[in-house]
Structure 1
């Protein structure tokens, strides 16, 4: 049979298409075979590992948090066993019913219920969620006994932070608490660790400052899981590395003594080594129990803390800002000497100082008579310092104040440090848009007016006077992880020996010479003599009618209207080693309220001598003043 020309062309076209299709299919088969060879032969090890990873899961383990100890190795913050009840929601048909049954053994309030339901909602159903912590042994035993009737409840023994000296060290150590949503957002790379049940992070104080060091390195657990991610068995475990030990400069005994001495007051005390800057004691009263923040403060208890007029949540030693009152007079005296005023020059105090048509009053109604610089500090004569401040000017006073640590922060290890305020004409112009008045210079001469200082700054000021004018800075940490932190040698602030001698001698007169404002609070034991300065800071303006009536007794006023009581000192006078500041809010006079407390604390410091060889090597606008 013959094929026509047209049919012949069609046949040839079909043949070419069939061959092309066969070629494409052949290429596709070769590519598929090559891909299969690549995956099954060349990549067999990689995909075997991936398959194994689907079967074996690695889970983080929270490391043991490091201890915080005092300078002699005594534990201030550590860990203890935490009896708790966990809930695995997939193992109970009714979470609410399970919680209701558990509440017959352990109290579960509405706030806790909401928190549990929130945690369940953001975790896989097979993951345990903390229901109750810090159970007593009896409660934990009852949970174990009733476990068959508590579907989904898992009794567990974990670790929790413990503060054996809770209130005494609360403002220094701070506390740890549960991870918040904000914490998770700020630490995206660490979310797996932060989401672990019961994990805590530092929220305040040393716990916050050294949170990373104390936290340690997380461990891991290799477990075999099924297709749903549920654990079948544990294959291997790495416990991780515990957190580093942090050694503080504090002395446990001195801290506890100072706390007991200030108990019942709204007050603070700071003890500092004048050479190294080591803080031996830092107390703020009243305080709170950091253990409660760890386990969760109740709503009513936390509200009580917030509403207390004594502000127990505030670290007054760092954040309390007070007019320094007469404790500032040494700074003015040194500025006067540096300005060329002779310490022997006398000023007559008739009981008031007139500037224009305004009188600035001395705390002593009849006046002190003619006094020189030493006597003015010793008797705390206001008129002498009114006159001196006017003569040298506010800029000279402010410059000297800054040399002695006022109006600044020190990068202190505990968060919340305030800078206080050393006012100048430039500051007032910028902050208030007003010009500086000479009367403001006069009142600054006795540590009143805009001038503000924290108890820590007053301790630093006193330390620099005691050590001869070296810019020592406070520090709270001696070692981290067994490594001692270096101490930066202090440098001279740039002041003459004559100016320092006036300040030191005047403070000696205050405490050790008859007639001194703190003579009754001296330490009579030889070798323990302290040199100090009283201070009384007004918190309200005294009216002319009140002054004329003579009724100015603090005890007759509402607590908030009473004067603050202050005292600063160093000891021993002949061989200075420690500086101390005490501030008692609304305590009345510095000589009557603050000086006796400071004397007792300083005597305790000198008796215990915290700088003795270490017992353990680190292992891991008012216009006047009352009596100063």
Structure 2
């Protein structure tokens, strides 16, 4: 072979080797670049699933200052509970390198959500970086757009009376029971929980507060992309929510109106409550002065002689007969304390039924001291003394165990530490009427409260009828269906002689009622005539 030819061959072989070496190096560099690009995408998605915005920012080419806040705000708005991201093909060559990905999210209030996106990347100074814009979060997030979670409350449902008409909250007593609505504070919104936020209109008191979720319903929710001014670009997800539901009370507008009229002209604080005896539903609630303290349901008063209904129950359940002779002296001393009858009355030996309709304190104390130790407390529990729940602020009744013989004697006539509201004493009368004590019900759909059978109710009805026909409550003996009742003159305060509240509790047909006049004096002279007026107006 000629020397020239050999030289050409050698040069060619060397050139081929150079070319092959360059191609190998380029291929290696290409594969390395691809690995680095894939590693960047995988790191990004992994950090995203962990909500590590700060580490993600370090992977961005020229990240904006708002980067972390943008992701944090978006995550909070979306309500991301769980996130999983997977990438597709990673393109690392050409004019627009990047990777497609899918996001599978679990969103609070919406559930699963799946979307697709793209992650642009660029190689700068030998390192792959994310070429970030808000569109990485979602393809629609361009030009200042953002995520928005909207709650769409339907118009609030109403409170209804027993006939299904809107409750007349022009009546100050019904307005107190109904309560008010107003904007929720941050603390109220937190207490209510999702989906409530500060500023939402919520029930602030009364039934509006107690039945907030029912009256407001469950708002429809939308997850949306909106412009900077709030204009909707696209609705991504929507939940239907639940419709508001009205709340029906047992208030009878006619009985409520008549109860208010019955107390017209009464200058002292007073209350009148009416309850449907068979159901326990509250038909009327009136407190005077109007718009003041709701004493009809929140007042705490010694029940005085109206409590003799309870004491009579204990005596009858323990075997006492209405015909049994009991002593009614002008006074009796128990444990060193002197107890007397109203105006110093004394009837001597009389039947127990007479002691009841004459409301003889000394006779009832004599009877009570001979009862088993737990008899009076058991009878009080039968009539709900001890408490029960109502959907609005209210006081029911309490009968603390007497701490000595003096307190036991005083408790037997509704004094000592015995307390009850007019609402509760109405329920006592209702229990006698129906034969079963039931906790009062303000809302028709409320779960039934405690129920206690009163086996001696027929005898109690006989005794309460005698109060109205022959005893201390004759002022309530109006024409029409028979009226049954019990007067009460309850001592309070430290004055001598003591001041007294005037009570009358009773029922006619299925309607039970209680009248209280604070500091009114004798129940038979003050409260019973008001009860008569109430019944006559009906």
When normalised by structure 1's length, the TM-score is 0.61
1:592 to 525, 530, 534: 525
How do 1:578-617 and structure 2 match up within 5 A?
Answer: 578-604=511-537, 607=538
Aligned-residue offset at 1:318: 3.2
How do 1:249-264 and structure 2 match up within 5 A?
Answer: 249-262=250-263
Counterpart residue number, 1:35: 90
Counterpart residue number, 1:473: 439
Aligned-residue offset at 1:529: 1.9
1:438 to 405, 428, 438: 405
Give CA deviations for 1:540-579 in whole Å, capped at 9, x if unaligned. 2454xx5xxxxxxxxxxxxxx742111110113xxxx121
Aligned-residue offset at 1:347: 3.0
Give CA deviations for 1:163-215 in whole Å, capped at 9, x if unaligned. 4x2403023211112212321332453344x43xxx32112211111100001
Distance change in 2, residues 1:186/1:505 (3 Å):
same
Contact 1:566–1:594 (8 Å) recurs in 2: yes
How do 1:443-458 and structure 2 match up within 5 A?
Answer: 443-458=410-425
Contact 1:317–1:454 (8 Å) recurs in 2: yes
Give CA deviations for 1:254-304 in whole Å, capped at 9, x if unaligned. 11221343355423222112212121112333354xxxxxxxxxxxxxxxx
Contact 2:384–2:397 (8 Å) recurs in 1: no
* Structure 2: 5+ residue stretches without partners: 1-19, 39-88, 104-114, 118-134
Distance change in 2, residues 1:234/1:256 (3 Å):
farther
Distance change in 2, residues 1:60/1:387 (3 Å):
same
Distance change in 2, residues 1:445/1:478 (3 Å):
closer
How do 1:293-442 and structure 2 match up within 5 A?
Answer: 312=292, 314-355=293-334, 357-409=336-388, 411-412=389-390, 414-425=391-402, 436-442=403-409
Separation in 2, partners of 1:26, 1:472: 83
Task: Give the match's secondary structure for 1:398.
Answer: helix
Whether 2:469 is the aligned partner of 1:512: answer yes
Distance change in 2, residues 1:424/1:260 (3 Å):
same
Separation in 1, partners of 2:272, 2:366: 31
Contact 1:422–1:452 (8 Å) recurs in 2: yes
Counterpart residue number, 1:203: 204
Counterpart residue number, 2:183: 178
Counterpart residue number, 2:140: 52
Aligned-residue offset at 1:533: 0.5
How do 1:418-567 and structure 2 match up within 5 A?
Answer: 418-425=395-402, 436-468=403-435, 470-479=436-445, 492-493=453-454, 495=455, 499-513=456-470, 516-525=471-480, 528-541=481-494, 543=496, 546=497, 562-567=499-504
How do 1:220-239 and structure 2 match up within 5 A?
Answer: 225-226=226-227, 229-232=228-231
How do 1:109-188 and structure 2 match up within 5 A?
Answer: 163=169, 165-188=170-193
Separation in 1, partners of 2:529, 2:239: 56
Contact 1:272–1:474 (8 Å) recurs in 2: yes
Contact 1:222–1:234 (8 Å) recurs in 2: no
Whether 2:215 is the aligned partner of 1:217: answer no
Contact 1:344–1:372 (8 Å) recurs in 2: yes
Separation in 1, partners of 2:295, 2:458: 31
Task: Give the match's secondary structure for 1:569.
Answer: strand
Counterpart residue number, 1:569: 506
Give CA deviations for 1:133-190 in whole Å, capped at 9, x if unaligned. xxxxxxxxxxxxxxxxxxxxxxxxxxxxxx4x24030232111122123213324533
Counterpart residue number, 2:194: 189
Give CA deviations for 1:107-156 in whole Å, capped at 9, x if unaligned. xxxxxxxxxxxxxxxxxxxxxxxxxxxxxxxxxxxxxxxxxxxxxxxxxx
Q: Relative to total residues, which structure has the larger helix share, 1 or 2? A: 1
Separation in 1, partners of 2:515, 2:329: 31
Distance change in 2, residues 1:287/1:170 (3 Å):
farther
Separation in 2, partners of 1:211, 1:420: 27
Aligned-residue offset at 1:219: 4.0
Separation in 2, partners of 1:534, 1:449: 18
Contact 2:431–2:438 (8 Å) recurs in 1: yes
Distance change in 2, residues 1:36/1:324 (3 Å):
farther
Aligned CA-pair RMSD? 3.5
Aligned-residue offset at 1:342: 2.9
Distance change in 2, residues 1:16/1:221 (3 Å):
closer
Q: How many residues align?
A: 430
Separation in 2, partners of 1:177, 1:448: 42
Separation in 1, partners of 2:296, 2:232: 53
More RCO (CA 8 Å, sep 6+): 1
Name the larger-Rg structure. Answer: 2
Separation in 2, partners of 1:16, 1:186: 72
How do 1:75-86 and structure 2 match up within 5 A?
Answer: 75-76=166-167
Aligned-residue offset at 1:245: 1.4
When normalised by structure 2's length, the TM-score is 0.71
Distance change in 2, residues 1:24/1:191 (3 Å):
farther
Contact 1:63–1:240 (8 Å) recurs in 2: no
* Structure 1: 5+ residue stretches without partners: 1-14, 78-162, 289-311, 426-435, 480-484, 547-560, 608-628
Aligned-residue offset at 1:455: 1.9
Separation in 1, partners of 2:221, 2:335: 77
